[in-house]
């Protein structure tokens, strides 16, 4: 009878060992179901919340909840932008000037970019009289109100994605 009790004790201990990890796992799930569910749900929401935003040739992967909202005019203008236009617009602070060589003026990349910004009413780009020898074909560059709005939106967009806003 002693062997029978001993073998029953061994079977009982083995049964407890076999049930220990499922019991601990089930207890863990019951106790921590809500926080684990929220963690998984939030991770899924964050994955679904990220999408691509195109500003002409420039493409950003962003979370839409962090995005500033552009005016309809700004959104429409940005559809026509390319990376050089974004770079040029961000480099303008109020008003300034630019000098271009006379030969092949229409083939000068910066000149072409500034002309596009002027056509989109982002800047006023005006040829001026040459007063300095060192500056051939001077042009005045003035940021318009629409240009200020677009510039502000782009800065807010970048700031929102690097955690500054």
> Any idea what the Cα angle at residue 19 is, between residues 17 and 20, rounded to 5°?
65
pLDDT for res 165: 47
pLDDT digits (tens, 9 = 90+) for 38-83: 766 665 555 555 556 666 666 666 666 667 888 889 988 988 899 8
87 has pLDDT over 60: yes
147 has pLDDT over 80: yes
pLDDT for res 133: 75
Residues 99 and 33 in one domain: no
Number of domains comprising the chain: 2
Q: Tell me the two tokens of residue 57.
A: 């040739």
Residue 140 phi, psi dihedral angles, 5° rounding: -95, 140
- By C-alpha distance, which of 161, 134, 156, 21 is closest to 78? 156
Contacts of 105 (CB under 8 A, 6+ apart): 111, 137
Kindly tell me the burial class for residue 63, based on how many C-beta atoms sit within 10 Å of its own C-beta (0-12, 13-18, 19 or more): middle
Domain that holds residue 11: 2-50
Residues 46 and 73 in one domain: no
96 has pLDDT over 50: yes
Question: What span, in angstroms and rounded, lies between the C-alpha atoms of 107 and 161?
Answer: 35
In this structure, what CATH number is given to the domain that contains residue 95? Answer: 1.10.10
Question: What average pLDDT does range 112-126 have in this prediction?
Answer: 89
More confident residue, 122 or 45: 122
Residues 67 and 34 in one domain: no
Residues 93 and 65 in one domain: yes
Residues 92 and 156 in one domain: yes
The mean pLDDT value of the chain amounts to 76
Residues 101 and 152 in one domain: yes
Helix ranges (H only) for 50-165 are 72-78, 83-90, 109-119, 145-161
pLDDT for res 150: 93
Question: What span, in angstroms and rounded, lies between the C-alpha atoms of 128 and 113?
Answer: 18
Report residue 121's pLDDT band, with 50, 70 and 90 as the boundaries. Answer: very high
Kindly tell me the burial class for residue 25, based on how many C-beta atoms sit within 10 Å of its own C-beta (0-12, 13-18, 19 or more): exposed
pTM of the entire structure? 0.57
Count of alpha carbons within 13 angstroms of residue 17, beta-carbon side: 6
Residues 91 and 63 in one domain: yes
């Amino acid at each position: 009878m002693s062997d029978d009790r001993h073998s029953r004790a061994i079977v009982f201990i083995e049964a407890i060992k076999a049930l220990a990890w499922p019991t601990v796992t089930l207890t863990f799930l019951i106790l921590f179901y809500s926080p684990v569910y929220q963690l998984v749900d939030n991770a899924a929401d964050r994955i679904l919340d990220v999408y691509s935003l195109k500003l002409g040739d420039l493409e950003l992967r962003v979370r839409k909840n962090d995005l500033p909202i552009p005016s309809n005019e700004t959104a429409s203008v940005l559809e026509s932008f390319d990376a050089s236009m974004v770079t040029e617009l961000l480099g303008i602070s109020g008003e300034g000037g630019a000098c271009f060589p006379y030969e092949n003026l229409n083939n000068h990349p910066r000149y072409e970019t500034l002309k596009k910004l002027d056509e989109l009413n982002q800047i006023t780009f005006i040829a001026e009289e040459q007063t300095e020898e060192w500056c051939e074909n001077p042009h005045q560059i003035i940021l318009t109100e629409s240009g200020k709005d677009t510039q502000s939106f782009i800065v807010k967009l970048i700031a929102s994605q690097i955690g500054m806003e």
